[in-house]
């Protein structure tokens, strides 16, 4: 049987995309390819806004937005990284106050530029995140080349999550309930990182839910922890005003197969009186206010987030993109 296995062969990038600006940038700006990059970096949903954005005398390749509406700057480069592209990134950042994610995509990262990204992640204030990403293409035999993104440098999410929790607790006007949720989701973020999970808590949630993207605008996964009713839940939320009911109905037709994939029955909530539709699973086996139980709760949430991601991601992509982007309020 091993004789039937193929071998991955590298393909020069310019055989796949002859020109960086004319071919690679338009390809990456397409929603499905932007979703592949976002999934690799655990950024949730990204939506392409503009390409070739003018910044003084040069241009940013792609300017996108994350689920919370914050800017995501993507700068592409074939060949090894150079000081010019790093300078362009820094020039763009000079005009920004906060909440910017920078993704520098290159064929090869020089050691000094990787070290520069590491330094920026360690030294900049909260709200600025930097990724260094190498792109490659490969094939097996005569197959079509497949792209792959490899993360060379990324933010230290755990230290950033601690910083977010500290800032939110000390600077924001939080009541006791909100402080407890900031601590709950901050610890959950640390748990996800320790488990190398493909999820990342965005911001500092002050309420009972936090959301994660599935690479498609208008669709999100939520982790929920209700302190008042001790209900722990994971749900798929369809947020589009124009098409959430249509997507729900198409998924409902696959209910038997979906529940077989997850291994448990689900709650199918079309919610005709609301914009959103939801598909959920929940338990009341835990005391959400008991910190000693948090690791077990996090394990339950992660287990079901992974099951939902596996069961729904390709299905919702296959149904088509909703017309309206998701609203950032995960808990409403």
Q: How confident is the model at residue 329 (pLDDT cuts 50, 70, 90)?
A: very low
Which of 68-82, 88-102, 158-172: highest mean pLDDT?
68-82
Residues 190 and 287 in one domain: yes
The pLDDT assigned to 170 comes to 45
Residues 230 and 296 in one domain: yes
Residue 180 pLDDT > 90: no
Question: How far, in Å, CA of 240 to CA of 262, rounded?
Answer: 24
pLDDT (average), residues 89-105: 79
Q: Greater confidence, 211 or 169?
A: 211
Backbone dihedral angles phi then psi of residue 289, each to the nearest 5 degrees: -80, -10
Contact partners, residue 9, CB within 8 Å, separation at least 6:
138, 139, 140, 141
Residue 327 pLDDT > 50: no
142: its two tokens? 């005569």
Among 155, 176, 205, identify where a domain stops.
155
Q: For the chain, how many helices (H) and strands (E)?
A: 10, 12
**β-strand pairing of 128-140 with 100-108:** parallel
Question: Residue 227 in contact with residue 180, Cβ under 8 Å?
Answer: yes
319: its two tokens? 């149904």
Q: Which of 123, 130, 196, 131 is nearest to 158 (CA)?
A: 196
Q: Greater confidence, 157 or 307?
A: 307
Parent domain of 304: 158-319
Q: Is residue 212 part of a domain?
A: yes
Which DSSP state fits 44? -
What percent of the chain clears pLDDT 90, i.e. is strictly above it?
32
Q: Domain holding 81: CATH number?
A: 3.40.1350.10
The pLDDT assigned to 301 comes to 96
Q: What is the pLDDT of residues 191-231, one digit of tens each?
A: 998 898 888 887 667 788 888 877 666 788 999 998 888 89
Question: How far, in Å, CA of 324 to CA of 317, rounded?
Answer: 15
Q: Is residue 325 part of a domain?
A: no
Residues 106 and 28 in one domain: yes
Residues 197 and 277 in one domain: yes
Residues 149 and 193 in one domain: no
pLDDT (average), residues 233-246: 82
pLDDT (average), residues 36-58: 75
Number of domains in the chain: 2
SS3 247: helix
Residue 294 pLDDT > 50: yes
Residues 187 and 57 in one domain: no
Q: Domain holding 219: CATH number?
A: 3.30.1460
Question: Residue 212 in contact with residue 46, Cβ under 8 Å?
Answer: no
Residues 116 and 253 in one domain: no
Which of 34-38, 150-154, 162-166, 241-245: highest mean pLDDT?
150-154
Q: Is residue 331 part of a domain?
A: no
Residues 81 and 201 in one domain: no
Which of 84-98, 161-175, 219-233, 317-331: highest mean pLDDT?
219-233
Among 155, 180, 201, identify where a domain stops.
155
206: its two tokens? 């002050």
Residues 122 and 64 in one domain: yes
Whole-model pTM: value is 0.51
* Helix%, strand%, coil% for the chain, nearest 5: 40, 30, 35
Residues 315 and 182 in one domain: yes
Among 132, 155, 178, identify where a domain stops.
155
Q: Greater confidence, 17 or 66?
A: 17
Question: How far, in Å, CA of 61 to CA of 109, rounded?
Answer: 18
Q: Is residue 59 part of a domain?
A: yes
Contact partners, residue 239, CB within 8 Å, separation at least 6:
218, 219, 220, 275, 276, 322, 324, 325, 326, 327
Residues 12 and 73 in one domain: yes
Backbone dihedral angles phi then psi of residue 8, each to the nearest 5 degrees: -70, 130
């Amino acid at each position: 049987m091993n004789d039937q296995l193929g071998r991955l062969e590298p393909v020069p990038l310019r055989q796949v995309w002859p020109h960086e600006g004319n071919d690679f940038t338009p390809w990456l700006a397409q929603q499905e390819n932007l979703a592949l990059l976002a999934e690799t970096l655990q950024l949730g949903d990204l939506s392409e806004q503009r390409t070739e954005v003018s910044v003084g005398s040069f241009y940013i390749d792609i300017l996108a937005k994350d689920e919370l509406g914050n800017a995501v700057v993507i700068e592409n480069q074939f060949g090894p990284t150079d000081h010019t592209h790093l300078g362009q990134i820094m020039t763009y950042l000079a005009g920004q106050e906060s909440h910017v994610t920078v993704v520098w995509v290159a064929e090869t990262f020089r050691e000094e530029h990787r070290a520069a990204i590491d330094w920026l992640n360690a030294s900049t204030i909260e709200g600025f995140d930097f990724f260094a990403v190498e792109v490659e293409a490969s094939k097996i035999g005569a197959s079509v080349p497949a792209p792959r993104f490899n993360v060379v440098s990324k933010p230290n999410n755990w230290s950033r999550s601690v910083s977010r929790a500290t800032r939110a607790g000390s600077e924001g006007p939080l009541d006791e309930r909100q402080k407890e949720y900031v601590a709950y989701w901050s610890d959950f973020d640390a748990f996800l990182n320790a488990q190398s999970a493909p999820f990342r808590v965005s911001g500092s949630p002050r309420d009972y839910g936090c959301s994660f993207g599935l690479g498609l605008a208008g669709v999100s996964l939520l982790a929920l922890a209700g302190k008042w009713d001790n209900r722990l839940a994971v749900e798929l939320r369809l947020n589009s005003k124009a098409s959430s009911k249509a997507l729900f109905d198409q998924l409902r037709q696959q209910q038997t197969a979906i529940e077989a994939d997850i291994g448990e029955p689900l709650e199918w909530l079309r919610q005709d009186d609301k914009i959103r539709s939801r598909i959920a699973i929940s338990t009341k086996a835990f005391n959400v206010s008991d910190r000693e139980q948090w690791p077990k709760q996090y394990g339950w949430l992660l287990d079901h987030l992974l099951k939902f991601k596996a069961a729904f991601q390709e299905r919702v992509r296959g149904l088509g993109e909703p017309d309206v982007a998701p609203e950032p309020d995960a808990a409403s």
